[in-house]
Amino acid sequence: MKLLKSTLHIGLEKPVKLLHVTDSHISYVDDYDDERKHALAARLGSPEKEKYLYEHIAYAKANCDALVHTGDLFDFVSHANTVKARELLADEHFFFIAGNHEYSQYVGEAWEDKAYRMNSYMQIERDGGFGVPMLWNTKIVGGVNIVGIDNSYYLFEDWQLHRLKKEAEKGLPIILAFHDPIFEQSLYDYHYEHMPYESCTYLTGVDEEHLARYSEFRAYQQRPDAPTLRMIDYIKSEPMIKAILTGHVHFNYESNLTDTLPQFVTGGAYDGYARELTID
Ligand SMILES: [Fe+2]
């Protein structure tokens, strides 16, 4: 595994260590899954991705208070992936919030929106579910409140904002965990600097000025709506929110959304990356 180390100073009496892992992109299939899913698993799966996932879990168990996974644990919806999710997430040490691939049927073959997500969600439920909430998840670890929010289609929803405000009322420092990073100028610039061929930057909350560089399809896919902008305003203004853990773009990056709010983007776990965040 490729381990990054970061620190966050928020005045905790006793340090808390989180292992942030994101984008493992595991692909299991079994006899309940169709031929197309078997072909996808043969093409996209690899023993290396699984090896890294188990290394991350073992490292977190030995060294950290929790493993925080910000989605794309699996590459697509399959019976075998759902069974594996239940097995992995039964471990209280493993905190999870879904990414876009958790709902992907065949990886990029369809327009993905709320209806698409709900269809996949029901299929996952038919197969017994992940055993944990997928759209919203919270866990208190050593006096830190980890709040996971599904924003995997570049959108936040008002019910999530309502729940987040309720979490802030608990008075504990909050670490937010979600799949798609929030727009920040240097992150946007870094993306285009290193990947100038890309038609977008895969960030949440990109304004019209910055969407202008996107392809028409990507701008339509990633344009924020009013609830998303409300959520981002709240995240930037709520002092109990101390940091954001996120992924999706498959590279490592750290920057601040405000003077006091860092956003940690961690590279793909499929490639070995994980970030140990020490909070004190
Ligand atoms: Fe993703």
30 Cα: distance to centroid of ligand 1 (angstroms): 23
User: Distance from the CA of 202 to the center of ligand 1, in angstroms?
Assistant: 9
* 59: number of Cβ within 10 Å: 17
How many angstroms does the Cα of residue 32 sit away from the middle of ligand 1?
A: 25
**CA 180 to centroid of ligand 1, rounded, Å:** 7
Say if residue 165 is exposed, middle or buried (CB neighbours under 10 Å; 0-12, 13-18, 19+): exposed
Q: What's the 14 CA to ligand 1 centre distance in angstroms?
A: 33
What does the alpha-carbon distance between residue 116 and residue 110 come to, in Å, rounded to a whole number? Answer: 9
Cβ-based neighbours of 56, under 8 Å, separated by 6 or more: 1, 19, 21, 24, 67, 269, 274
pLDDT tens-digit readout, 253-278: 999 999 999 999 999 999 999 999 99
CA distance 15 to 18: 10
Comparing 47-51, 110-114, 177-181, which segment has the lowest mean pLDDT?
110-114
DSSP string, 170-238: T-S-EEEE-SSPBP-HHHHHHHHHH-TT-S----BS--HHHHTTS-HHHHHHH---HHHHHHHHHHHH-
Largest CA distance in the chain: 54
- What average pLDDT does range 79-99 have in this prediction? 98
Sequence-separated (6 or more) residues with CB below 8 Å from residue 255 = 184, 186, 187, 262, 263
For residue 179, the CA-to-ligand 1 centroid distance in Å is 7
Tell me, what's the pLDDT at 155?
A: 98
Domains and CATH numbers, the chain: 2-279 (3.60.21.10)
Q: How far is the CA of 220 from the centre of ligand 1 (A)?
A: 17
Which ranges constitute the DSSP H helices of the chain? 35-44, 47-63, 79-89, 114-126, 158-168, 185-194, 208-211, 216-222, 226-237
DSSP 3-state of 105: coil
For residue 153, give the DSSP letter: T
Whether the per-residue pLDDT at 54 is higher than 90: the answer is yes
Q: pLDDT by residue (tens digit) across 180-215?
A: 999 999 999 999 999 999 999 999 999 999 999 999
User: pLDDT digit string (tens) for 119-168?
Assistant: 999 999 999 999 999 999 999 999 999 999 999 999 999 999 999 999 99
Ligand 1 centroid to 143 CA: how many Å? 29
Mean pLDDT across the chain: 97
| CA 265 to centroid of ligand 1, rounded, Å | 12
| Model confidence at 43: pLDDT above 90 | yes
Handedness of CA 58, 63, 68, 69 (dihedral sign): negative
Task: Using a pLDDT cut of 70, give the percent of the chain over it.
Answer: 100
User: Do the Cβ atoms of 77 and 104 come closer than 8 Å?
Assistant: yes
Q: What's the pLDDT at 109?
A: 84
How does residue 108 score in pLDDT terms, banded at 50, 70 and 90? confident
Alpha-carbon distance 221 to 207, whole Å? 13
pTM for the complete prediction?
Answer: 0.97
The lowest-confidence range among 2-11, 109-118, 150-159 is 109-118
* 169 CA to centre of ligand 1 in angstroms: 30
- Centre of ligand 1 to C-alpha 43, Å, is 18
| Position 101 pLDDT exceeds 90 | yes
Neighbours of ion ligand 1 (CB under 5 A): 72, 99-100, 248
Average pLDDT on 43-67 reads 97
What pLDDT sits at residue 269? 98
Q: How far is the CA of 166 from the centre of ligand 1 (A)?
A: 27
Separation CA 230–CA 257 (nearest Å):
15
CA of 170 to the centre of ligand 1 (A): 30
Compute, in angstroms, the gap from residue 75 CA to the centroid of ligand 1.
9
User: What spacing in Å lies between the alpha carbon of 171 and ligand 1's midpoint?
Assistant: 31
The answer, yes or no, to whether residue 74 has pLDDT greater than 90, is yes
What sign does the dihedral 40-275-91-116 (CA atoms) show? negative
Measure the CA–CA gap between 4 and 267, rounded to whole angstroms: 10
